[in-house]
Amino acid sequence: MQSVFLEIVRYIVPSLVVFATVYFLMNKWYRHQIFSEQLRQGSKHREKVDGIKMQACERLILLCERIEPVNLYMRLNTGDMTAKQMQEAMMIAIQQEFTHNYTQQLYVSPALWKIILLAKDQVLDIISQTGDKLYPSDPPGRLIELIQRVFREINIQPLDQAKSAIKSEIDLIL
């Protein structure tokens, strides 16, 4: 009887060792496969998010270009406007451009969004203050001349700073 028991143990113990070894190796391989798949999925997600962030930065660069006073003047001037009408049209256009791009703040850093807000507000302030110095019947060309003079006189160009901040954010993405 004891010899039968020893014979059974002799076959079962090596089988259990082989089973345990295979089990632990397969378990380790399976965990590695799951981890690898999660990494692949994460990198695909990251690529999508980075693409969306890049598009947001592109749109914000375009926003800065579109609210540049000279560009606004070229786009809005109908030839029969007064300086006051041009001032109002420029300010409305800036607000519309900003509103159109408002959701881009979801895809950029809060610091960059704050810089964009400040640049927009500074441009609006310059247009407002410059327009207030003119007679309502002055031609719109006079308004843009004064605006350009103000921009030349200030040390920090708000839209250039905003574009530089956007480019820095792009560098972080890349």
Q: What tokens were used for 87? A: 């001032």
Helices (H), 67-157: 69-76, 83-100, 110-132, 140-153
Residue 111 has pLDDT above 80, yes or no: yes
At residue 27, the pLDDT reads 85
Q: What is the mean pLDDT of the chain?
A: 90
Question: Whole-angstrom Cα distance, residue 12 to residue 17?
Answer: 9
* Rounded average pLDDT over 108-133: 95
Q: pLDDT grade, residue 174 (50/70/90)?
A: confident
Report the chain's C-alpha Rg in angstroms: 33
* Rounded average pLDDT over 41-69: 89
The answer to whether the CB of 123 falls within 8 A of the CB of 69 is yes
At residue 48, the pLDDT reads 82
More confident residue, 21 or 165: 165
Residue among 48, 168, 54 at smallest CA distance from 112? 168
Residue 1 has pLDDT above 70, yes or no: no
| Angle, alpha carbons 89-95-98 (nearest 5°) | 135
Helix, strand or coil, per DSSP, at residue 80: coil
Would the pTM count as exceeding 0.95? no
Q: pLDDT grade, residue 60 (50/70/90)?
A: very high
Q: How many CB atoms lie within 10 A of CB 118?
A: 14
Q: What tokens were used for 9? A: 């143990």
* Rounded average pLDDT over 2-20: 78
pLDDT, tens digit, 9 for 90 and up, residues 124-146: 999 999 999 998 889 999 999 99
CB-based contacts of 146: which residues, under 8 Å, 6+ apart? 130, 133, 134
Residue 65 has pLDDT above 70, yes or no: yes
Residue among 93, 96, 112 at smallest CA distance from 104? 112
